[in-house]
Structure 1
Amino acid sequence: MHTLILSISFSVAVSIFLKLARSGGIRVDQAIAVNYATAVALCLWLLHPPLDTLFEQPAAVWLILGLLGVLLPSVFLVMAAAVRRAGIVRSDTAQRLSLILPILAAFLVFHEVLSGRKAIGIALALCALACLLTRPRAAAAAAGSAAATAPEDETRGWASRGWLVLLGVWAGYGCIDILFKQMARIGAGFAGSLLLSFVLAGVLMGLWLLARGTRWHARSLASGVLLGGLNFGNIYFYIRAHQTFPDNPTLVFAAMNIGVISIGTLVGAGVFRERLSLLNVLGIVLALGAIVLLFPR
């Protein structure tokens, strides 16, 4: 269970970093690029993947790695675009509702058996998600106001292409969860696979920045080292959690999503002075109940 707790903690820390980055003048795309370089270094230092057989991967593994290499940086950028075009509330909702995809995959792809206990746990998890995503009117109005004051070329996107980036957020995060579960099934070779996915993501992100003629920003590049450490911890312990509970992917999928948003809600209230409604508090209680029901006896 500690692997899940650590993964959730690192994920919340990543969210806090991204929240503070917007107000701290950090260019997130550059921080993301350095984040993957840092993750590669940590992977080499801590996991010691076998470099002599690194590229001796089956075709199916290369397919997973290729998809992760594209999706990992792309979803970061799509999420940033969604926040600009559709607002923080809609974007966060789309990300959390992606939980539906890996839960479906748990039964349709990974052949998990659906018991009555798990069915109730899933229902509670979805109810908890709905309660946690319901914001007080003042907070929702503030988020809407922030989107409304964005430049015209950004806000116009919500009317024309906003639904596309929200769909990208929903599908992207859901597919990444499923691919990480597949990577966890690789077993002992997962360190090398993790390294390759970070390398591919970093190379693609770097090429994208170079193609845009990016002007480098020292603070953003330096902050990418911190982001890389947090992101590495999040992904590493998430995969370890799937390896710890190989026959219960629903537990990992649900606990990760509702755990992150529950703790994020508490952090938002305690650190950023965001208001909590009774529904939000009920959502946290339901989330705990869902995890208890999904946890294997």
Structure 2
Amino acid sequence: MHFIVFAALCSVAVSVLLKHCKSQQIDILQMLAWSYLLAITLCYVWFQPDFSHLSLTDTPWWIIAILGLVLPGGFIVLGRSLQRAGVIKTEIAQRLSVILSLCAAYLFFNEQLNSLKVMGICLGLFAMLCLVFSRSDQLAAFRSAAQHQGAMCSLATVWVIYALVDILLKYTSGLGLQFAVTLNLSFMLAFIFIFSFLILRKTQWTIRAMYAGLLLGVVNFANIALYIKAHQWLKDSPSVVFAGMNILVILLGAMAGLVFFKERLNRLSSAAIIFATAAIFCLAKAI
């Protein structure tokens, strides 16, 4: 469970850093380019991929291609969704992507259920729903999304992409010797994708974005690496990793909001923390 805890801490750190940098008018796409450049180096040093085993048949090029596009694409889609649909509805789509991940755990990874896992997942979903509707205007805001086709399209894309990343990282964790090569090449492709976009946009590069991007690279790589380690450690319980990660992000994100951004908790937000804590306890006992 410790890998999930530290991965969630890094995930929340990524969100806090992005929110702070956005308020400081730092170009997020520049940050992403620097972060993936550093992630390539960290991945090579930490996992030591053996590129001598690259081949047209054995290397999972399809995973590399999809991950290389959806990892940076997720940030871009998230930004567009925030613009078109707003923070509340984007948060709903992002958090509830865990439903697709949990379905994949049983349909594709053949996980066996037990009572504690079911209880933990149910409590976690209750926590997410409490968080989703923790403000009086959230339900109305969610319904109003149907009035705007572009907003609904962005929300659906966020929902699918975040679940797809979860599922692909789980699949990558079981590739054995090909795991490190796949992850490193995915980071390389993500860097090429973002860098090419910035060049075509004729971006004015800044030192502030570079420093922020390198810091983002450290925490984002740690988030992904620890998340994959959690899947390797709990290879027979992907639902525990999928649900545990999302529940912990809710719990730690609420704490970060209280400490760093002076946000207030209402009754439903407090209930979300209680449900999330109980869910983590159940999932930890289920391992």
TM-score by length of 2: 0.92
Counterparts of 1:243-262 in structure 2, within 5 Å, are 243-262=232-251
Residue in structure 2 matched with residue 147 of structure 1 by the alignment: none
Counterparts of 1:93-108 in structure 2, within 5 Å, are 93-108=92-107
Segments of structure 1 that go 5 or more residues without pairing to the other structure are 145-157
Identical columns (%): 38
Confirm whether residue 197 of structure 1 aligns to residue 171 of structure 2.
no
Residue in structure 1 matched with residue 144 of structure 2 by the alignment: none
Comparing 64-73 and 286-295, the one that deviates more: 286-295
Segments of structure 2 that go 5 or more residues without pairing to the other structure are 142-146
Instruction: Select 1:278's aligned residue among 261, 267, 287.
Output: 267
What letter is aligned with 1:21? Answer: C
Distance, in Å, in 1 between the alignment partners of 2:204 and 2:250 is 34
Distance, in Å, in 1 between the alignment partners of 2:87 and 2:224 is 23
Residue in structure 2 matched with residue 92 of structure 1 by the alignment: 91
Q: How many correspondences in the alignment? A: 282
Confirm whether residue 31 of structure 1 aligns to residue 31 of structure 2.
yes
Residue in structure 2 matched with residue 116 of structure 1 by the alignment: 115
Counterparts of 1:141-152 in structure 2, within 5 Å, are none
Instruction: Select 2:216's aligned residue among 227, 243, 258.
Output: 227
Q: Secondary structure at the match of 1:258?
A: helix
What letter is aligned with 1:204? Answer: F
Residue in structure 2 matched with residue 52 of structure 1 by the alignment: 52
What's the offset of the Cα at 1:215?
Answer: 2.4
Deviation string, structure 1 residues 141-185 (Cα, Å, up to 9, x no partner): xxx8xxxxxxxxxxxxx8341111111110000000000000011
Inter-CA distance 62–16: structure 2 relative to 1 (3 Å threshold): same
Counterparts of 1:180-191 in structure 2, within 5 Å, are 180-191=169-180
Distance, in Å, in 2 between the alignment partners of 1:36 and 1:103 is 28
What letter is aligned with 2:2? Answer: H
Q: CA-atom RMSD, angstroms?
A: 2.2
What letter is aligned with 1:41? Answer: T
Deviation string, structure 1 residues 208-254 (Cα, Å, up to 9, x no partner): 22222222233112211111111000000000000000000010000
Counterparts of 1:203-222 in structure 2, within 5 Å, are 203-222=192-211
Contact 2:174/2:232, CA 8 A, preserved across alignment = yes
Distance, in Å, in 2 between the alignment partners of 1:43 and 1:96 is 27
Inter-CA distance 211–99: structure 2 relative to 1 (3 Å threshold): same
Distance, in Å, in 2 between the alignment partners of 1:265 and 1:57 is 46
What's the offset of the Cα at 1:49?
Answer: 1.5
Contact 2:30/2:210, CA 8 A, preserved across alignment = yes
Confirm whether residue 175 of structure 1 aligns to residue 174 of structure 2.
no
Contact 1:132/1:262, CA 8 A, preserved across alignment = no
Residue in structure 2 matched with residue 149 of structure 1 by the alignment: none
What letter is aligned with 1:30? Answer: Q
What letter is aligned with 2:99? Answer: I
Distance, in Å, in 2 between the alignment partners of 1:57 and 1:240 is 26
Comparing 92-101 and 278-287, the one that deviates more: 278-287
